[in-house]
A = this chain, B = another copy of it.
Amino acid sequence: MKEEETLALLRRVRDGSATPEAAMERMRQQPFEDLGYARVDHHRTLRQGEAEVIYGAGKTTEQIVGITASLHRAGNDNIIITRISTETADALSTHFPLDYDPLSRLGIAWPCEHPMTGDVVVAAAGTSDLPVAQEAIRTARALGSHVTRLTDVGVAGIHRLLSEQSALHHARVVVAVAGMEGALPSVVGGLVSCPVIAVPTSVGYGASFGGLAALLAMLNSCASGISVVNIDNGFGAGFLAHRINQMEGIHK
């Protein structure tokens, strides 16, 4: 409840158009729906500008169906459901329309068309990094950002990246996805003047330690303007990229 609303409510109490008890009740009301196993936050769209996202891993089909229904009842569409298998997607599809992509394992419930604006570049170092990159891309697009994808631009063949400098220079924000040594964000960070979101992936073996090597490399990047999300967190990168991409200019 915003301060103005509170003040308005208080004035209505003074005016007698609301009883203290009713005002108390109103103030006690929570902006979420409690499903027993989950509390769905219906005010997030107002408060934060995007609807709630469903982290699918570790949830049953029934739970996902319930949360999706609750969000849809509240007027949301393009509801993002991450990390679900093809089997789960098939099961969900019997309950509501779902746009599912097995590469990114990301589904969009109640999908609908909307304009995509701005310019997010998602660059993947290697072919094996594509699932994570794709999760970022689909997330950003579902939220309304225009996305350009660059694939196989790892630093061990630097000319492949340098040939895409034009795309990089037009970006409002770059998502750089890499496993193994995770060097891509550092090189990208030196080429562009926009924010760079680094996504380490678990691609690799041995001393990659499940993506730890790439994560540490990215955290220690000597380029400026870079920040890092969790290993394989394509969703988080895409979500943040959208937030940055959609920023308005400073009001003078």
Contacts and interface: CB of A to CB of B under 8 A. Distances in A.
Interface of A: 3, 6-7, 10-11, 13-14, 16, 19-21, 23-24, 27-28, 30-32, 34, 36-39, 41, 44, 47-50, 53, 55, 57-59, 63, 117-118, 125-128, 130, 151-160, 162-163, 166, 172, 180-183, 186-187, 189-195, 197, 200, 202-233, 236-237, 239-240, 243-250, 252
A30 B191 CA distance: 15
A236 B62 CA distance: 30
Report, nearest first, the 7 A-B pairs whose CB atoms are least far apart: A206-B231, A183-B183, A58-B128, A227-B227, A213-B216, A156-B223, A249-B249
Nearest to A166: B3
A3 B250 CA distance: 30
Nearest to A44: B157
Given A59-B127, A125-B222, A250-B118, A217 B182 contact: yes
Contact of A186 (B24, B181, B220, B236): B181
Contacts of A247: 172, 194, 244, 247, 249
A232 to B, nearest CB: 5
A87 to B, nearest CB: 18
B219 A216 contact: no
Contacts of A162: 158
A50 B248 CA distance: 21
8 contacts: A58-B203, A59-B128, A156-B224, A158-B158, A181-B186, A181-B218, A182-B220, A207-B220
B230 A229 contact: no
Contacts of A250: 117-118, 172, 245-246
A136 to B, nearest CB: 12
